[in-house]
Homo-oligomer: A and B are copies of this chain.
Amino acid sequence: MREVAVVGAGMTAFGEIWDKSLRDLFVEAALAAIDNSGVDKVDYMTIGCMSGGLFVGQEHLGSLMADYLGIKNLPAARVETACASGGLALRHAFAEVASGMSDIVIAGGVEKMTDISGDGATFALATAADQEYEVYHGATFPGLYALMAVAHMEKYGTTREMLSAVSVKNHNNGSMNPFAQYPFKVTADQVASSVMVADPLRILDCSPITDGAAAVVVTTVEIAKKLGKPYIKVLGSGHATDKIALHSRHDITTLQATEVAAKKALEMAGKKIKDIDFAEVHDCFTIAEIVVSESLGIFEKGKGGEAALKGETALDGSFPINPSGGLKSKGHPVGATGIAQIVEIYKQLTGQAEGDRQLKNSPKLALAQNMGGSGGSTLVHIMEVA
């Protein structure tokens, strides 16, 4: 297996981008990544997108994006595993490069979520749950994560203040990210008094509906060296699923797919979770970041909320989580999110994160955790400075 690197990164601003279409967004991010990497050719392209079909009536993004990117006959295709589609795009790019099938691959992600009218976005997102046994009976994702929050509070004593601490911390980080959809700070009081969505989750516990795209250039370490640009190594890739429906799981206070994917990625990298300097994780809801931080083994089971409240996951904490602002503040264009995490890790590990969110401790090793549905799929990647 060849050693794999990420050698350039780009993304669009995240937000309600009314003047750009799905193709415009993706091409902007891909061109930014190509430009940033200095590559003069591309051999393959993988595109994470959850539902071009339901959001904008467009499937077949491989052909569309290669065409609009202007790279003749470029082999390109979409991959999907709900909100973890971006992480999946990175894994497929990794396999293409590691196997020797391709030398230089764009791994990108995109979603255009604000063009759909009425409750269309809620329906489109709900197709990541079990349609026949959850959604037809009224479940949507805020409701499913609310069930997880209630169970976690009951079992471990997790509190409203702990949930709020996650939102406050991520909005603080995101306020320094020029690409963030909501780059403003919030207070714990604001979070706790924001409008209720699904008890106990309030609107400031929830990631937003977002348009956006992100892309990275994946190649061999050998080629990355020759390009003379900053690069990072991808040491491990872990992928796992869990039962898709929440009611089929034995314990909804933990995320088994995250546990298994992290174990695989760390084993492949030859590292332990204690070796990791910071992580970008999938905080689609505040409770998700808490449970993920426990399932990854960063904190003991039931201690994730307390750690957030104590500032352990802040930029200057013992284990910074989501320096980018996370899905909460940066935004969550679902297919792009997993790649936007890699963009942040690339910037942090190469010392290029904008403003004061650059971690001060010269991070060497980072982890990205991207999940789909209520945790039915998870991709974990481990990256190291070159």
Contact = CB atoms under 8 A, between A and B. Distances in A.
15 contacts: A54-B54, A54-B59, A58-B127, A58-B132, A60-B82, A60-B373, A62-B241, A63-B81, A63-B242, A63-B243, A74-B241, A75-B239, A75-B261, A76-B241, A77-B81
A63 B101 CA distance: 27
Nearest to A245: B67
Interface in A345-381: 372-373, 376-377
A73 interface: yes
A131 B58 contact: yes
B240 A67 contact: no
Nearest to A123: B57
A21 interface: yes
A21 B96 CA distance: 33
Contact of A79 (B77, B99, B100, B260): B77
Contacts of A130: 64
A78 B257 CA distance: 17
A7 to B, nearest CB: 19
A95 interface: yes
Q: How many copies does the complex hold?
A: 2
A237 B102 CA distance: 11
A301 interface: no
A82 B21 CA distance: 20
A56 B256 contact: no
A162 B21 CA distance: 42
Contacts of A50: 59
A124 interface: yes
B99 A95 contact: yes
Interface string A235-266: 00111111111001000000011001100000
Contacts of A377: 60, 62-63, 76-77
A60 B135 CA distance: 13
Q: Which residue among A1, A92, A244 has the maximum number of chain B CB atoms within 10 Å of its CB?
A: A244
**Residue among A59, A64, A124 with the highest chain B CB neighbour number at 10 A:** A59
Contact of A51 (B53, B123, B237): B53
A5 to B, nearest CB: 15
Contact of A244 (B64, B98, B260): B64
A325 interface: no
A131 B51 CA distance: 14
A238 B227 CA distance: 27
Interface in A111-132: 123-124, 127-132
A333 interface: no
Interface string A271-307: 0000000000000000000000000000000000000
Nearest to A96: B95
A81 B75 CA distance: 11
Interface string A64-90: 101100000111111111100000100
A195 B188 CA distance: 67
Given A57-B131, A63-B244, 6 more contacts: A21-B132, A53-B124, A62-B377, A63-B82, A64-B376, A77-B88
